[in-house]
Amino acid sequence: MQALQILIDGFAISALYALGATGFTLIFGVSGVLNLSHGAIMVAAAVAAWAAASVLHLDTYSGALLGVAVALVVAFATYFAVVKPIQNSRRIPNEEKEIFVLTGTLLWGIMIQELIAYFFTNNAKTVLPIVEGVVDIFGVRTPRNEIFTAIVCCLVIGLLWILVNRTRTGKAVLAASMNPRGVTLLGLELTRIYVVVWAIYGILAGIAGVLLGMFLGVSSYSVGPLTASAFSIVVLGGLGSVSGSLIAAFVVGYLETVTAYLVSPAYRTIPALLLLVVVMYIRPQGLLGRR
């Protein structure tokens, strides 16, 4: 009974984590950028979806779409206003660009967080779910929304897989992550590929954010923990490895759910952190990472 409950809840949480972390790892794999404003973009999407319903009185579908659109806009803003200027800067030595991108996106994330807190307060916001009601799965009462979340996450990740492996644009993205110089030699514009990747990232983060808003609710305080969880999932799976982060998302999601149910919700994040430390010591490149 409880085992089934853990299985179902853990799956929904893990799928959501996986969706959130996929975009993050994609950007790192292709352009070497660790985007520390990730949590802020997800929260911005959720808050936009919430505001669409409660301030603009739109229906839930338009609200969700608006949320994803906002995430896309913010993701582009992150790339064009913060990441690109740092990457193109001549005054920053190449070996230090990584830390500047980290600091820049971190500050950018704090700015978004503060703006959200200023205009929409710090209160937790729950987006109205698209599907409502509860179903009974072998005696476990499960909100339909939870099942919906899991299905959408899996569908989107599946679509992403098709996009990356089966389309021309996707293959260019994949090639750029393997060898940027090679791609340029083949006559593909690298900056165009980056824009495509940031667009994919924005949509993924937006969907993940809106679903999170429906499933658990968000507040401007969730920005830091969301970024941290995406970061640790991605490192656990191996930076830049999409399949690695999918596995890691499920490991972390289930570890957290099991701890919350069997030990105490207060210790929820501790086993995942311990696992992360152990993996860092034994296998610093992550589960499926390349050195």
Partner 1 sequence: MAGFFTSRLFFISLACVVIAATLPFYVSGYILGLLTVAFYFGVFAMAWDLLFGFAGEVNFGPTFLIGVGAYTAGILNNQFGWSVYLCILLGALASVVAGFVLALPALRVRGPYFGLTTLVAVLMLQNFVVVFADLTGGEIGLTIPDVITINAGANYWIALGFMTVSAAILYGLSQSPVGLVLQASGQDPVQAGALGFNIVKHKLAAFIVSAFFSGLSGALLVFYFGTASVGTVVDVAVGVNVIVSAVLGGRRTVLGAALGAIFLIVAGEFLRPTGELATFIVSAVALLVVLFFPGGFLGAALSREARS
Residues near partner 1, by CB under 8 A: 34, 82, 85-86, 89, 91-92, 95-96, 98-100, 102-104, 106-108, 110-111, 114-115, 117-118, 224, 228, 231-232, 235, 239, 266-267, 269-270, 273-274, 276-277, 280-281, 284-285
Nearest CB to partner 1, comparing residues 138 and 281: 281
The minimum distance between CB 209 and partner 1, in angstroms, equals: 20
The minimum distance between CB 170 and partner 1, in angstroms, equals: 25
Nearest CB to partner 1, comparing residues 15 and 33: 33
The minimum distance between CB 49 and partner 1, in angstroms, equals: 22
In the three-class reduction of DSSP (H, G, I as helix; E, B as strand; rest coil), residue 140 is classed as strand
Nearest CB to partner 1, comparing residues 104 and 202: 104
Q: Please, are residues 258 and 265 in contact by the beta-carbon 8 Å criterion? A: no
Q: Please, are residues 243 and 263 in contact by the beta-carbon 8 Å criterion? A: no
Q: Please, are residues 66 and 45 in contact by the beta-carbon 8 Å criterion? A: no
The minimum distance between CB 148 and partner 1, in angstroms, equals: 31
The minimum distance between CB 191 and partner 1, in angstroms, equals: 18
Nearest CB to partner 1, comparing residues 91 and 166: 91
* CB-based contacts of 274-277 (< 8 A; 24+ apart in sequence): 275/236, 275/251, 276/232, 276/235, 276/236
Nearest CB to partner 1, comparing residues 55 and 277: 277
The minimum distance between CB 282 and partner 1, in angstroms, equals: 10
Q: Where on the phi/psi map is residue 48: left (φ > 0), alpha (ψ -120 to 50), or beta?
A: alpha
Burial class (CB in 10 A: 0-12, 13-18, 19+), 216: middle
Nearest CB to partner 1, comparing residues 110 and 157: 110
Burial class (CB in 10 A: 0-12, 13-18, 19+), 188: middle
In the three-class reduction of DSSP (H, G, I as helix; E, B as strand; rest coil), residue 143 is classed as strand
The minimum distance between CB 228 and partner 1, in angstroms, equals: 7
Strand spans (E) along the chain: 134-137, 140-143
Nearest CB to partner 1, comparing residues 108 and 198: 108
The minimum distance between CB 186 and partner 1, in angstroms, equals: 28
Query: Which of 48, 99, 98, 55 lies closest to 74, judged by CA?
Result: 48
DSSP run (H or E) holding 236: helix 223-237
Nearest CB to partner 1, comparing residues 217 and 224: 224
* Unique residue bearing structure tokens 């987006």: 127
Burial class (CB in 10 A: 0-12, 13-18, 19+), 221: middle
